[in-house]
Structure 1
Amino acid sequence: MDHHSKAKQLLQQRDEIDDKIKELMLVLETNNSTMDSPLIDSEGYPLNTIDVYAVRHARHDLICLRNDRTELTEKIVAEMEGEKKESTESVASEEKPVHRTSNTPFVKISSVVEASPADVGGFRKEDLIIQYGTLHHGNFNDMQQVSQITKEYEGKIIRVTVIRDNRPVRLEIRPAKWSGPGLLGCNIVPMAGANV
């Protein structure tokens, strides 16, 4: 199977995972729960206002699905890169690879709203961003640039690299209008010492 069909197949699998994630998020929402809200009261009894079993189950499945999604995303990126290498056609319309001059974080995620585009794309609170689309420490001047890229990429994928647990993690974030404010649903703040 060529890279294109493989990538297409993987993308389809990822869409299916996204649908399941949405359904499970709904289970949590219906029970007024988040991924880490309490399931027991102050005396240690299960809260009778929520379906504790369903919430526990949904949380477990969400963690597994998010891990599967991350793995799929890595495979998709690998297939697409393979396809790029084999493609001898004009690369004018292709996004040019960004050559970071350093792995220094320039902004960080201070909070993420559950079920927002940022959350679905894999952003986590305290992620340190070393690359946001074409932005990196070497060409970052102010937060306006982050907003600009976010707007330009509405409905499209921004490739983002973050440092999490001292390791680089590649993410694909798709800014879009959703039920909350903004296109991402997270707070991005400058790193201390960044010239903003």
Structure 2
Amino acid sequence: MNEQPLHSQLSNLNIDPTIHERIKKLPDLTINEIDLLKTEIESELHKNFSILKEQNLTMESPLVTSDGFPDPNIDVLQIRIVKRNINMLRNDLNNVITTCALKLNRHFGKDKNQNQQESLRKGENFDHIIPFAQIYDVIEGGPIFIAGCLSGDELVLIGNLNAGTYLNLNNISNYILQNENKKVTIRIRRDKKLLDMILIPTRQWNGQGLLGCKLKLL
């Protein structure tokens, strides 16, 4: 099988150009249009984070060896573009969330959006709002069910693991094992809303495993 030419491979990393066009018109977009744009930006972030995961990298991973040479095990050019994309998309997402909050304030009044504005002032970490796995086959009475999760919920945070730090399902499993019978903060997204919960991974229930559910990466 012939490999794609370099220019073709790199073009696959391009961000949807319509996102940038709509970012420039943010003040003129409706709340529904902004919400759709937010979803598309999150999708682009997922795509770029997935490329990092394929090479077992994070945003903090170095691209050079200890001698200062490009790491031969990494597609350095590709990863530089991916990291640039992620930084640009994070900035775009910041603008989208800020604009949406302002529009909601004007529409509903300041009091109803006080908490959202407070989180913006503190500087939201966007790795903490992007889901990276889906929860399914939740067993009633299991630890994840008791925490409040439902099948179809999307996992955003589990302890210190998020879209920018997890590597694979084994990474998540190991974290769960290390925190057996301990309280773990989790964040899920359900119906476009973020919900924080406390999970206690344990074998002390009538089923198998520490969670009572299955996970699949997004």
Q: TM-score range by the shorter chain?
A: 0.3 to 0.5
* Higher radius of gyration, 1 or 2: 2
Q: Choose between structure 1 and 2: higher helix proportion.
A: 2
Scaled by the length of structure 1, what TM-score is found?
Answer: 0.47
